Structure 1
């Protein structure tokens, strides 16, 4: 799943697709895990078939005509909800054909996170994705094995097998499924950025932002609560804390929310955070 879109047109189309997925997510008759699998299969199809995705995003073709093509291609191959979702997406206008594929992939990941939410394990999945990302970042050999440039099919299978060996029985099945899809089809992304995107999507399921907090020493439960409360007031929304320890961190603490980094050496806002932690 790509975290960026190609322009205003694609952003609007992607937002509309997310809304349609949310409507489906509210229906208990929809199996979100099956929906995720179907959308992942459509992602693979569109990723392989460049000519097809260009036809489906061709602005000279009517939305209805493109939706009919989707129905002919996918009908009977995937569930009706998937056909309806993708048909709605191709009725929208896209800045590039690649943006459509990115959006379908994001919906696949989001559907799996809906399944996690229904099962009551969304927080665990979010935490496992973050922790796995930290392990990958700290282990060059593992990062190389999972991000290496082997031949596409054989390489994807080998990397998927490694993920299953690492996570099987140690993490939620949904976490394993999300990471396997990522390593099988990175689609030009680094493994780290793909894991960050997945963690961000998990947080958005709860309408939260993620703060990656690195401290020189572990925080106590009370300090974590104070930091979370302080950041929530600072940003005006709920903040999920992903915590890590690094004795070398400057100033004792570093907080990253999205693209913004607040370090312990920055006076203003972090001094306030430190006062709250100490208070």
Structure 2
């Protein structure tokens, strides 16, 4: 949890710079990638984090450190964001990396907006989350800190390159495994889904079934979950024959699994426990 100083710094910086970042439109792709690179740099260099968050150090000196790090190659908006962040007070030195990553995701969302791909990316992230729920071994490998980030990214590409995912989805999903940031892989994907949902002003409800939902079922689910969460919802229908029947419904971090395969697994565990 971020301290009060970091929460204030993050909010003020975002209030000031979000409109400017949004206005970069297609250039936001480059900015987001640069911010992800800087997030990784900060995460792996505590000395740099300390140099950029030291309250006793003049802001000009911190900006000079930034210029040395990026060598004048970064987009002007990237530098404006970083210069703003190093000029603020942080509760912990690591909180500045969190803010940089947040801006990186924001940049990707604004790029998605500019290219009319926001809903598609949100749906694909939800589908990716749903697919990995049934793949615990794969999930563990995607946040295995004992292997290199290149190995984890290679594994992700081998598994999902054939799924024809949007480039924005791929970049976000690869960032999640490339830079673990002490998080489990699905935790990061869910965080991204939540950010996109808030950005779009609606909640994503992922419904996994063995066969496609009917229009009537979708209407009923929209009515039920709009009332439940108190805001507009989008139903992301995922067809997975392996669940056999029933529904698995995910809203945010909450998963309700009433599929046949889940019931069979529960029955198996019960019988095994009593044996």
For the pair 1:53 / 2:37, whether they are aligned, the reply is no
Matches within 5 A, 1:154-169: 155-169=148-162
RMSD: 3.0
Tell me which residue corresponds to 1:36: 32
Unaligned runs of 5+ in 2: 259-275
Three-state SS of the structure 2 residue aligned to 1:61 is: coil
Counterpart Cα distance in 1 of 2:141 and 2:24: 39
Aligned equivalent of 1:24, options 20, 27, 48: 20
Conservation of the 8 A alpha-carbon contact between 1:71 and 1:87: no
Tell me which residue corresponds to 1:202: 196
For the pair 1:88 / 2:84, whether they are aligned, the reply is yes
How far apart are residue 114 of structure 1 and its match?
1.7
Tell me which residue corresponds to 1:181: 175
How far apart are residue 28 of structure 1 and its match?
4.7
How far apart are residue 42 of structure 1 and its match?
1.1
How far apart are residue 107 of structure 1 and its match?
1.3
Three-state SS of the structure 2 residue aligned to 1:168 is: helix
Please identify, of 34-43 and 74-83, the stretch whose mean Cα deviation from structure 2 is larger: 74-83
Three-state SS of the structure 1 residue aligned to 2:175 is: helix
Aligned equivalent of 1:148, options 144, 148, 151: 144
Conservation of the 8 A alpha-carbon contact between 2:22 and 2:28: no
- Residue deviations 1:165-188, cap 9 Å, x none? 233252111111111111111111
Counterpart Cα distance in 1 of 2:251 and 2:136: 25
Aligned positions, number: 255
Tell me which residue corresponds to 1:107: 103
Three-state SS of the structure 1 residue aligned to 2:94 is: helix
- Residue deviations 1:245-273, cap 9 Å, x none? 89799xx7776644667899xxxxxxxxx
